[in-house]
Structure 1
Amino acid sequence: MASKGIVLITGANTGIGYQTVKALASSSKTYTVLLGTRSLEKGKDAIEQLKSEVPDTKSEIVPIQIDIMDDASIEKCHKEVESKYGRVDALINNAGAAHDPLMQQIPGPKGVRAAWQTSYDVNVTSTQVFTLAFIPLLLKSSNPRLLFVTSGLSSLTTCAGGRETAMLTSQHPPAGWPKPPAPSALTYRSSKTALNMLMLDWHRILHNDGVKVWAISPGFLATGLGGIGKEKLKSMGAGDASVGGTFITKVVEGERDADTGKVIRSDGVQPW
Structure 2
Amino acid sequence: MSSKQQSHQRVFVVTGANKGIGYEVVKKLSTNQPNDLILLGSRDQKRGEEALVQLGSPSNVKVLVLDTSSKKSIEQAKEELQNKYDGHLDVLINNAGIGINDPSLKALKDTFDTNFYGVKHMNDTMSPMLRDNGRIVNVSSGLGAMTMKECSQDLKTKFLNPDITDSQLEQLFAELFKAVEEEKDPATVGFNPVILPSSDDYFALYYGASKLGVNTLTRIEARDWEKKYSAKNVIISAVCPGFCATDLNGNAQGARSAELGADSILHAVYTENLENGQFWRDGSHLPFESK
TM over 0.5: yes
AA of the residue aligned to 2:263: T
The percentage of aligned residue pairs carrying the same residue is: 31
- Report 1:70-149 matches (<5 A): 70-86=70-86, 87-99=88-100, 101-103=101-103, 111=104, 113-138=105-130, 141-149=131-139
Q: Quote how far apart the aligned CAs of 1:102 are.
A: 2.4
Q: In the alignment, what sits opposite 1:249?
A: 266
d(CA) in 1 for partners of 2:214 and 2:138? 8
d(CA) in 2 for partners of 1:242 and 1:70? 28
Contact kept, 8 Å, 1:251 with 1:257, in 2: the verdict is no
The one of 169, 183, 186 equivalent to 2:195 is 169
Q: What secondary structure sits across from 2:108 in the alignment?
A: helix
Q: In the alignment, what sits opposite 1:200?
A: 219
- Report 1:1-272 matches (<5 A): 4-27=9-32, 30-51=35-56, 60-86=60-86, 87-99=88-100, 101-103=101-103, 111=104, 113-138=105-130, 141-156=131-146, 159-160=149-150, 169=195, 185-207=204-226, 209-225=232-248, 228-230=249-251, 233=252, 235=253, 237-253=254-270, 255=271, 257-272=273-288
Contact kept, 8 Å, 1:69 with 1:121, in 2: the verdict is yes
Contact kept, 8 Å, 2:39 with 2:63, in 1: the verdict is yes
d(CA) in 1 for partners of 2:115 and 2:219? 15
Q: How many residues align?
A: 233
Contact kept, 8 Å, 1:159 with 1:169, in 2: the verdict is no
* Residues 156-189 of structure 1 deviation map (CA, whole Å, 9 limit, x = unaligned): 48855xxxxxxx6367xxxxxxxxx757611100
Contact kept, 8 Å, 1:7 with 1:89, in 2: the verdict is yes
* Residues 201-223 of structure 1 deviation map (CA, whole Å, 9 limit, x = unaligned): 11011146421110011111111
Contact kept, 8 Å, 1:116 with 1:187, in 2: the verdict is yes
Contact kept, 8 Å, 2:40 with 2:48, in 1: the verdict is yes
Task: Calculate the TM-score normalised by the size of structure 1.
Answer: 0.78
Q: What secondary structure sits across from 1:96 in the alignment?
A: coil
Contact kept, 8 Å, 2:95 with 2:138, in 1: the verdict is yes
Q: Quote how far apart the aligned CAs of 1:258 are.
A: 2.4
Task: Calculate the TM-score normalised by the size of structure 2.
Answer: 0.73
AA of the residue aligned to 2:250: G
What's the C-alpha RMSD, in Å, of the aligned pairs? 2.4
AA of the residue aligned to 2:121: V
d(CA) in 2 for partners of 1:81 and 1:158? 36
Structure 1 pair 98/39, CA: closer, same or farther in 2 (3 Å)?
A: same
Contact kept, 8 Å, 1:9 with 1:34, in 2: the verdict is yes
d(CA) in 1 for partners of 2:32 and 2:99? 30
d(CA) in 2 for partners of 1:201 and 1:169? 28
